[in-house]
Each structure stands twice: as structure tokens, then as C-alpha cells.
Amino acid sequence: MRTLTKILLLAALVLCLTPNLVFAAEPNDAATCVINVTVDQICEWEGAAFADIDLALIDDQGDTPESSATYTLWINCNVALTADNTATAELDNTGPPTSGSDTLITEYKVTYDGDGDPDTGGTDTAYATYDNFISGAGSAITHYDGDGAVEVTLWARASNDSTGHKEVSDAGVYKATQTLTAAWASD
């Protein structure tokens, strides 16, 4: 009987202590933390430069070869695209058999993969000579929520100057560098 009494006392002790242990446990409690971050206006090209544009051979006075390169512009705001309108953007003769003595009529245009509603983009431009290509206020690119990139395609074409006495440009390699600059514009 003594053993039974000991077992019953032990059982009673365990039953009495168990609720005390449970009720003595720390209660669950939640703490919140507000996370803040500011996203600045983003306007950046996917890298450093468009791929080179290689125009087809001009082997006839009337040839007007054209070609293009496409590049991604990442934006989260409206931007204006402007172009270099200096002689750097004009195709001039840089290589054999003659060098530096002639230029070609150099024209550019840009096209976009979106029109600004409902996709980020702008209005495609028409071909213009290098010195008039998207000058002034530039070409507006409208950012559309949910679309943070626009594919900008730069087109170039070249031709002989057929005005006045000039009919055919000198033989040789002609080069130009066009620089497009995207800058924040007010929303």
C-alpha cells in the first residue's frame, strides 16, 4: 500500500506541476517593424554602348543603305532622348584610299517598342540629318507603370550628296559616332 500511496502522490504532484509549468510559459507576443526605402528616379542604359551599325557597301551613286541597332533603356520616370548634332555624328572619310576629304549625307531616326500608353515608349521619329536629329527638347519617352524598360532602336542611313555639283563621294571608309542621351523629364 505504501508503494501505491507513493505512486498516487507522485501522480498528483506531476498533475499539479504540469499546469503550473504550462501556465508559467512566456506568452506569444508579436513586434512589428516598418521597412522604408526610397527608389530614386532611374534612367540608365543596359550597358555602355549600342552595338555597331554596319551599313551595306555603297557601290552606286543612288545607294542609300540603312541599318539599325537596338538597346534597352531602363526607366521609372518620363525622360527626353536627345542626340549628338555635331560633326562627330556625320559620316566622314577616315580610311584608304583617301582620308578625311569627304562626307556622306548622314541621317538617323529612332523607333520604340512602346508608345507610352499602355507600354513605356514614345513616338517614332522620322529620318533627319545628323545636325537636326532629335534636337531641341528631344524625343519624349513616357514611363508607364508596370513597364520599366523601353527598347530604343537607332537607325542610320547614308547616301551620296546629289545636290549641286557633287554627285559621288570619295572612295574609302566612312565613320561616325552618334550619342543618344536620356535625361529625366517632368512627369
Q: pLDDT band for position 6 (50/70/90)?
A: low
C-alpha dihedral, 124 to 127 to 132 to 134, nearest 10°: 10
**CA 93 to CA 87: how far, in whole Å?**
12
Three-class secondary structure of residue 50 per DSSP: coil
Tens-digit pLDDT profile for residues 72-123: 999 999 999 999 999 999 999 886 666 667 899 999 999 999 988 889 999 9
Mean pLDDT, residues 12-24: 55
Residue-level pLDDT at 176? 96
Cell reading at 185: 523629364
**CA 50 to CA 53: how far, in whole Å?**
8
Between CA 111 and CA 118, with CA 112 as vertex, the angle to 5 degrees is 145
Residue-level pLDDT at 116? 82
Mean pLDDT, residues 124-132: 97
The burial of 71, by beta-carbon neighbours within 10 Å (0-12 exposed, 13-18 middle, 19 or more buried), is given as middle
Cell reading at 110: 529612332
Cell reading at 179: 550619342
Whole-model pTM over 0.85:
no
**CA 60 to CA 32: how far, in whole Å?**
74
Q: What is the DSSP letter of 93?
A: E
Whole-angstrom CA distances from 70 to 73, 93, 99, 111, 155 are 10, 25, 30, 9, 9
Q: pLDDT band for position 35 (50/70/90)?
A: very high
Lowest mean pLDDT among 21-25, 67-71, 138-142, 171-175: 21-25
Residue-level pLDDT at 141? 96
| Consecutive H or E run containing 108 | strand 105-112
Residue-level pLDDT at 168? 84
Q: Are 71 and 46 in contact (CB under 8 A)?
A: yes
Mean pLDDT, residues 57-62: 92
The domain over range 43-184 is classified in CATH as 2.60.40: yes
